[in-house]
Chain A
Amino acid sequence: MNETTQLMLESAERLLRDACPKAVVDQAEAGQRPDVLWTELEALGLLNACVPEAQGGVGLPLAEGLTLLRLAGRYAVPAPFAETLLGRALVAEAGMPEALEGMMTLAVPAVQGDGYAPVPFAPWARWVLVAQAGPDGAVSFQCLPQEQLTFSEPRKGLAGEPEALLLGGAGQGPSFSSPLASSLAKLQGLLALSRAVMMAGALESALDLSVAYALERKQFGREIAKFQAVQQQLAVLTGEVAAALRAADAGLEALGSPREATAWAVAKARAGEAAGKGAEIAHQVHGAMGFTHEHQLHHRTRRLWCWRDQHGHEAYWQAVLGRALCAAGAEALWPELTGSA
């Protein structure tokens, strides 16, 4: 990780600690767009992390800039951080300076079935980057003002954030392509990776909350952290968090390498599995308190349940990996797993 990234992560963490408290997440989930938070993210330059310096951005490579999403997960940022970060990197190349302001979201063909995946934060976005796949799998983009497109009535997903189905309006106007996401598979893989990184961050936070709660909550005259049954569960949770973090980081490290598609599938599948197991343990440790709306644990766990399904759930990416292994055959299994074929 380069020094610029390190500094940016530190200032981003300081900002989010103050600017993204529980109240802001609650208000966003009640339907209020977090404009103040967004303005602060913008002022710090976080949303332009992967926009070239010549266009007023920080100029970080994607692999570095996407590490910010771990913080978005840790603080449950209720806004299209991932979509804007990635979308602006794509748009910057196409020379649309006007699109480098305001919330951006992405309309992307779903990994399974026909049509588009529900568009996260569609009602709040100023810009929608619509991806269209050609018959050869190549992808072209149109960056359109949100009001030019037709969406379904918005609904709240598991995360409590608004999403809507794209009904029409795209198709006219100029389009562009980007080497950062040249194929639909690559675009979907990058988005899956973004969710893996976000899940790793949310899991870290769920672990922190669980450990703090276990050390504070007393039953039978002592902290519940002193009970082996609780300790063992928190150790299992730690293992899942560590695995999710490593898998997500490995996905970022692989960006641009011949192994990237495999690493992204591993990241989404492994972090998605950790999300389910981890949320379960975090809730069990928190008891009834963690089931209340008042406690902030659900800001993390509902996002874990949401993100593990977005851009392909575990079984989808596992099957992608499994089919490749079957095609390569038993004798190629070890070389495939170690990247030493």
Chain B
Amino acid sequence: MATALTFDPVTLPPAAEALRSEVRQFVAETLGNEHRRNSDFGASHDPEFSRALGQRGWIGMTWPTKYGGGGRSFFERYVMTEELLAAGAPVGAHWIADRQSGPLLLRYGTEAQREFFLPKIIAGECFFSIGMSEPDSGSDLASVRTTATPVEGGWLVNGTKLWSSGAHRNHYMITLVRTPTESESRHAGLSQLIVDLRNSSGLTVRPITNLAGDAEFNEVVFEDCFVPADRLVGEPGNGWEQVTSELGYERSGPERFLSAFRVFVELLREVGPKPTDHQAAVLGRMAAHMMTLRNMSISVAGMLESNRNPVVEAALVKELGNNFEREVPEIARLVAPGGGSALFRQTLEDTILHAPSFTIRGGTREILRGMIARGLGLR
């Protein structure tokens, strides 16, 4: 049990701190006043901004240089991403490709796949969606029913994927499918295919409008959709292991506690230099939570850097971080003086409307708590 509770101290290396000022300067020069700042990584899609980041070498920073990657540490990537999120920069377009699709290909992909996809991702010109959930498979991911049947030269895919963010405008989707297997185990016979979202027949992408009125996520329907054999990621049947490793990358980063950060900034602006004792305590409590979460999250980055697999630690960061970011707008609305400025209201309302997704995406609160309980030996 002690393992899950041990978040060793990490001091960010000088190279990471040096990068911090570079990123700040870049953001200051690149983001105009008209940009609506939002720290939710999924809130924005700006290919131009992603390309500009790519030109800076800030996508695929940790990947090997032979594919055009930066060969830099997880800490440098950490600082780069937290600076962008805190500034409310539009990181949505390349986010998934940078965070998990690229690392998945590095770990399980073929050499040809790496050579084909990684340089495009790194340039900020190739965006990925996640194709995991289905109408009847949410938290119970092992129950997916989309099938891939082997045919001459590839696979025929049939089924429906759901909640695939950005599938209506991204280039590819790594899709979890069932492939033939002899085994009865529900974790067997799962495989991952890279589906070309723009040049496939038998593929229909239907945007689903969320409660905020945005069309961000999609239903993706496959009807005898052909996927070439060389788009299989890893071994057929190894999909469960691969998907689990992919999820590991997405649980402990700064995006798990910073989604509501701009609300915190605007609340501070509203309160001004002379807070009441209550306002000061509320703001200070948020700061104490955020600094501790960040500290824990950087510690997990240290574990990733030393090639450890901190499943429970990452789940703890996400559980605490998501609860915190859901709490921020709830607190802000009660302590802002007199309703607040137009900018404050806009920032607050944006976040209130998206907050329900914080504790669902990337693993629901209940699933994460179950993982932590397993780490405690309770199940």
Contacts and interface: CB of A to CB of B under 8 A. Distances in A.
A239 B86 contact: no
Given A225-B378, A239-B320, A242-B4, A232 B285 contact: no
Contacts of B277: 315, 319
Nearest to B293: A243
Given A211-B1, A337-B287, A326 B273 contact: yes
A317 B284 contact: yes
Interface in B238-296: 261, 264-266, 268-269, 271-275, 277, 279-285, 287-296
Interface in A321-341: 321-323, 325-327, 329-330, 333-334, 336-338, 340
A231 interface: yes
Nearest to A340: B20
Interface residues of B, number: 55
Given A238-B316, A318-B285, A330 B266 contact: yes
Given A238-B4, A326-B275, A340-B17, A250 B284 contact: no
B98 interface: no
A interface majority secondary structure? helix
A232 B284 contact: no
Interface string B1-25: 1001101010000000100100000
Contact of A270 (B20, B289, B366): B289
Contacts of B5: 204, 238, 241-242, 245
B285 A226 contact: no
A26 interface: no
A337 B373 contact: no
A242 B296 contact: yes
Contacts of A231: 369-370, 373, 378-379
B interface majority secondary structure? helix
B158 to A, nearest CB: 34
Contacts of B275: 322-323, 326
Given A211-B378, A247-B292, A235 B265 contact: no
B264 A326 contact: no
Contacts of A234: 372-373, 376, 378
A226 B261 CA distance: 37
A226 B17 CA distance: 46
24 contacts: A228-B366, A231-B373, A232-B369, A234-B372, A235-B369, A235-B370, A238-B5, A238-B316, A238-B372, A246-B299, A318-B280, A318-B287, A320-B284, A322-B275, A322-B280, A322-B287, A326-B273, A326-B279, A326-B280, A334-B86, A334-B265, A336-B287, A338-B20, A338-B82
8 tightest Cβ-Cβ pairs between the two chains A and B: A322-B284, A321-B284, A322-B280, A318-B284, A235-B369, A231-B373, A330-B269, A322-B283
